Structure 1
Amino acid sequence: MNLFEINEQYRVVEEMTDLDPKTLQDTLDAIADAREVKLDNIAYLIEKSKMQADFLKDKIKELQEAKKILENKQKSLKEYMTSALDEAGIKELQTSNHILKTRNYKKSVIVDRLEDLPDEYKKTETVVKADSNALYRALMNGDEIIGAHLKDNRGTVIR
């Protein structure tokens, strides 16, 4: 197998969207390259994938912030428009492009201080979740716990 064909196989792995572990393993096993070279190329693919994921994470955050800014702008503009119509005593206004009508929506409940509310107006929610630290300690001490077990966790550090 020539260098071009080997590079093409790594490109196939890089472009794979099917994350089935068996398919990935078969594809990597089919690459006829020295172990050190193959593992070095896999480390490169991992680093590149991490960089892309980090980029997308940052981009998502930026887009969410931009969305929030636009939503706040819409809210402020609507409040201004409603205020302007209310101050003029106008219930409906027809412009060349829009029909604007003020209306009353369901009133919003604002809680100033939760501590001041009578108990009958408070709601307590209970969340049940596993205590991973206590489970880990007990399982490491050899305790048998139905519904939990330890699983080996191995990985490779890329530097």
Structure 2
Amino acid sequence: MNLFELNQTYRDLEEREDLDSEVLADTLDSINDAREIKLDNIAYWIEKNKMQLDWLSEKLKDLRAKQTSLNNLNLSLQDYMTRALDDAGIKELQTENHILKPRNYKASVIVDSLDDLPEEFKQTKTEITADKKELYKVLKDGQEVPGAYLKPNRGTVIK
């Protein structure tokens, strides 16, 4: 297999979406290539994935901002439409495309100041979490803790 064919093998592998970790490892093991070349191609693939993840994160952020903007606009438009109908004393308006009926929904509870609220209307929530920093110290010193253990965390830096 020549260099172009080997590189194409890695690019074809990138395009597959049916790869779980076991199939991926088996497929990579089956590529007959020098270790340095194989690992270099894998590093390239990881860098490409990281670039895509960065782009997707930014795109998601933009889409969330657009979603919030459209939701807020719809709320403002709904409020305006309801006020316009209420101000005119209209109970139902039929247009060419819609039937508009103002109606009462369940009222919203707004708490301006939690400090001013009587105790009988306050709730205290308690969340139990593990103290991972302390657990790490104890486990690292070799002590055993039921329900916790250290999982090795190894990776390769790509420069």
Aligned to 1:25: 25
Please, which moves more after superposition, 93-102 or 1-10? 1-10
Q: Give the partner amino acid of 1:59.
A: K
Residue equivalent to 1:62: 62
Query: Which residue in 1 is equivalent to 2:6?
Result: 6
Counterpart of 2:146? 146
Q: Could you tell me how far apart the structure 1 residues matched to 2:84 and 2:34 are?
A: 74
For residue 131 of structure 1, what is the aligned residue in structure 2?
A: 131
Equivalent residues in 2 for 1:43-82 (5 A)?
Answer: 43-82=43-82
The equivalent residue for 2:37 is 37
Q: CA deviation at 1:19?
A: 4.2
Partner residue in 2 for 1:87: 87
Normalised to the residue count of structure 2, the TM-score between the two structures is 0.94
Runs of 4+ residues over 4 Å off in structure 1: none
Pair 1:70–1:17, CA change in 2 (3 A): same
Shift of 1:120: 1.2
For 1:114 and 1:43, the matched residues in 2 are separated by 53
Identify unmatched segments of 5+ residues in structure 1. Answer: none
Distance across 2 between alignment mates of 1:142 and 1:7: 46
Q: Helix, strand or coil for the counterpart of 1:67?
A: helix
Aligned-partner SS, 2:100: strand
The structural deviation recorded for 1:4 is: 3.7
The CA RMSD over aligned residues, in Å, is: 1.2
- Structure 1 distance, partners of 2:32, 2:130, is 46
Give the TM-score taking structure 1 as reference length: 0.94
Identical-residue share of aligned pairs (%): 62
Would you say how many aligned residue pairs link Structure 1 and Structure 2?
159
Q: Distance in 1 between matches of 2:34 and 2:50?
A: 24
Deviations 1:14-56 (A, max 9, x none): 1232342211111111111111111111100000001011111
Corresponding residue number in structure 1 for 2:96: 96
